[in-house]
Amino acid sequence: MNPLKQAKGLYLGWRANRSKIALAGRAPDLALDPENLRLSLEDPSAYYVRAFQEFHHCLPAELKAHRAFFTQDSRGFGEDAFHVMWWRLVRKFEPNTFLEIGVYRGQVLSLISLIAKLEGIECHVTGISPFSPAGDSVSIYRSNLDYLEDTLANFRKFELSQPELIKAYSTDASALDVIASRKWDMIYIDGNHDYDIVLKDWHACSKAVESGGIIVLDDSGLSTNYRPPCFSTAGHPGPSQLASEIDRSEFEEIFQVGHNRVFRKR
Ligand X SMILES: C[S@@+](CC[C@H](N)C(=O)[O-])C[C@H]1O[C@@H](n2cnc3c(N)ncnc32)[C@H](O)[C@@H]1O
Cβ distance 165 to 124 under 8 Å? no
Q: Taking CB under 6 A as the rule, does residue 257 contact ligand X?
A: no
**Least distance from C-beta 26 to ligand X, angstroms?**
27
Candidates 48-56, 156-164, 185-193, 234-242 — which segment interacts with ligand X by CB under 6 A? 185-193
Nearest to 205 by CA among 166, 237, 246: 246
- Which residue's CB is nearer to ligand X, number 89 or number 101? 101
Residue at shortest CB range from ligand X: 102
Q: Among 63, 90, 101, 208, which residue interacts with ligand X (rule: CB under 6 A)?
A: 101
**Least distance from C-beta 107 to ligand X, angstroms?**
4
Count CB atoms within 10 A of the CB of residue 147: 21
Q: 118-124: which pairs have CB atoms within 8 A and are 24 or more residues apart?
A: 118/60, 118/62, 118/63, 119/90, 119/91, 119/94, 121/90, 121/94, 121/95, 121/96, 122/96, 123/90, 123/95, 123/96, 123/97, 123/98, 124/96, 124/97, 124/98, 124/164
| Binding-site size, ligand X (CB under 6 A) | 21
User: Residue 222: which residues within 8 A CB-CB, separation 6 or more?
Assistant: 234, 235, 236, 237, 240, 259
Candidates 26-34, 51-59, 128-136, 231-239 — which segment interacts with ligand X by CB under 6 A? 128-136
**Least distance from C-beta 165 to ligand X, angstroms?**
11
d(CA 75, CA 78): 10
Count CB atoms within 10 A of the CB of residue 230: 12
The SS3 call for residue 74 is helix
Candidates 36-44, 73-81, 226-234, 238-246 — which segment interacts with ligand X by CB under 6 A? 73-81
From residue 74 to residue 93, what is the string marking binding to ligand X with x (rule CB under 6 A)? --xxx---------------
Q: Taking CB under 6 A as the rule, does residue 129 contact ligand X?
A: yes
From residue 190 to residue 229, what is the string marking binding to ligand X with x (rule CB under 6 A)? xxx----x--------------------------------
- Which residue's CB is nearer to ligand X, number 44 or number 191? 191
Binding site for ligand X (CB under 6 A): 76-78, 101-104, 107-108, 128-130, 134, 141, 169-171, 190-192, 197
